[in-house]
Amino acid sequence: MTPAAELSPWTPLRNRIFLALFIAQLVSNLGTLMQAVASAWLIGSLGGSAAEVALVQTATFLPVFLVGIPAGSLADLFDRRRLLLGAQTTMMATAFVMAALTFAGEVSPTGVLALTFVLGIGAALNGPAWSAMQPDLVPKEHFGQAVALSSMTFNVGRALGPAIGGLIVAAAGPEWVFTLNGVSFVGTMLVLASWRPKTRVRAFPAETFTGATRAGLRYGLHSQLVRSVLVRVVLMILPGAALSALLPIVVRGPLGLGSGDYGILLGCFGGGATAGAVLRPRVVRVLHPDALLGVSAVVMTAALLIQGYVHNAWLLGVALIGAGFFWSLATTATGVIAQSALPEWVRARGLALYQLVLTGSVAVGAAAAGFIANRDLETAHLVAAAIVAVSPLAAKRWPLTWPREFDLTLLPGEEPAVTLAPSSNDGPVLVTVAYRVPTEEMEEFAATMRFVEGHRRRTGAYRWGLFRDLAAPDRFIETFIVSSWAEHLRQHQRQTASSDELLQRVRTYIDPSDGVNHYLSSYSPGGLARHVDDGEIEHFTEEV
C-alpha cells in the first residue's frame, strides 16, 4: 500500500494557505490554458504552418528546458515567495503586452511565439519554487494528495480553459483571452504577498549559484530512483506530447471543425485528467508505479492511433478522456516519487531537474511531431504511438517504486574535529576513512560501500574511491574529495535518517587507530595558514 493511500484527495485543502493558493492557482491555470488555445488558433488564423502551430507548445515549455535548473538553484538559495512574485509579475505583464499588440493588429506568428516564450520563462522560474514550497504547507503524509491537487489545478484548467478560450476566441477574439489571462495572475500574487512562510536558517554561508547548480545536477545523477523517474518520463512523455500538439491540426484539417470544437476536445483531455487526480488514491492502492505507467502507455497508444487514423470527433473525445485520465495519473505518480525522494536541502533543484525533463520532453516531442506532420500527419501519430507502446519495457532497467521506506528527515552529523581553521572557501578538501574488515565480510562490505559512494557523491563529493592496503589486507581506505571546506561541512548537515542507517552499518568497521582524517590542499589560500590551539570552528547563521 502506498503512503497516505487511505487519505481523502481533498485533505490538504484543510490548510487555509494551501486552499487559498489552490484557488488562486486554479484561476491562473484557467487563464494560461485559455491563452494556449488562443495562441495556437491565432497563429493558424495568421497563416502559420503546421510546424508553427505545434511550436506553441515548444515555446511554452522550452524555457523550462533552458533555465529550469538555474531556477531551482535560485529557489533553494533565495526567498521562494519573492521569486514567485517576480515570476507571476513577469507573466502578467507579458500577457497584457500580447493583448495590446493583438488589439492593435501588430502581431505575427513569430511575435506570438516570442511572447509565448517569455511567458514560458516566467513559468520556468515559477515551477521549482512552487513545487518546493508545498512541503512547507502540508505534512509529509499529505505530499501525494498535495501534488495531485496541484496537478488538478492544471488539469481543471485544461478541462475548462480550452473550452472557455475557444468560445471567447469565437465570440470576441484572442485579444480578450490574453487580457483575461493577465488578470488571472492577480489572485496568486495577492495570496503570495500576504503569506509569511517560515524563515529558513542556514548554518553555513550560502552556496554559490554555480555550485548550487552543480550540486542539484550531481544529486539527480547519483540518485537511482531520481534517474529512473527521469528516464521513464522521457520515454513516455516525449512521444506522448504529439497527442495535444497535433490536435489543432487534426481539428482544423481532417475533422474540419472550428475553435469551439477544438476547445471541447481539449476539455475532454483535461476532464479525464481531472478525474485521474480525484481518483488517484484509489488507483495507486492497487497499481504499482510500473504497472500504472504500463496501463497509461496502452491507453495513450490507442488515443494516438485514433487521433491519427480514425477521423471521428466523438470517438476522439472518448479517447482523449482516457488519455487525460492516465496522463494525469502517470505524471502525478512520477512527480510524487521524485518529490518524496528529495531531501529539503536540494528539493527545488531536484524538482527543477524533474520539471526540466518533463517539460523539455513535451517541447521536443511537440516540435518533432510538428515537423513530421509537415510531411505526413498519419506518420507523425504512428511514430509517437510506437514509441509510447514500447516504453513500459524500460521498467526492467529503470524500475519505479513508492519511496515509503525512505526517511529523509535531516540528521546533521557532528562537525569535524580539526586544529587548523580553514575559511569557508578553502579547498579542495580530501577526506579519508580507514576500515578494518574481516575476510569473510569483505564482499558484503564492498557492496555496501557502493551505496556509501552514492551518498557521498549526492551530498557533495566529486571524486570517490575505495582502496585495499596491500601491506595489511584487512585494511581499506575510503577517500573522497569535496570542493571546499564549507561544502564538506554542508555534507555533515545533509545526512538523513535513511543515509545515517547506511553509514551506521559501515561505521562498525572503522579502524579506531586511524579513523577519519581531513586534508586541505596545500595550494588552497588556507593550506599553509595559521594554527589554532582551541580547535574552534567559526560558526555562521543566516536567515533566508
CATH architecture, domain defined by 429-543: 2-Layer Sandwich (3.30)
The domain segmentation of the chain, as residue ranges, is 11-395, 429-543
Reading the block at residue 248, the C-alpha cell is 489543432
> How far, in Å, CA of 535 to CA of 531, rounded?
9
544, pLDDT greater than 50: no
Answer yes or no: is pLDDT of 4 > 70: no
Structure confidence by residue, pLDDT tens digits, 179-234: 988 888 888 888 888 877 666 665 566 677 888 888 888 888 888 889 999 999 99
Q: Is the pLDDT of residue 283 over 70?
A: yes
Q: Does residue 476 contact residue 430 with C-beta atoms inside 8 Å?
A: no
User: The whole model's pTM is what?
Assistant: 0.77
Closest CA to 464 of 440, 480, 478, 476: 480
Give the CATH fold of the 11-395 domain.
Growth Hormone; Chain: A; (1.20.1250)
Is residue 490 predicted with pLDDT exceeding 60?
yes
C-alpha cell read off for 382: 504512428
Q: Tell me the C-alpha distance between 274 and 157, whole Å.
A: 9
What is the reported pLDDT for 339? 79
11-43 per-position pLDDT tens digit:
888 888 888 888 877 887 788 778 877 888 788
Backbone angles phi, psi at 435, to 5 degrees: -125, 150
pLDDT above 90: residue 476: yes
Reading phi first (left if > 0) and then psi (alpha if -120 to 50, else beta), residue 460 is in left
Distant-in-sequence contacts of 498-504, Cβ < 8 A, 24+ apart: 498/405, 498/406, 498/407, 498/408, 499/455, 499/459, 500/411, 500/413, 502/448, 502/451, 502/452, 502/455, 503/452, 503/455
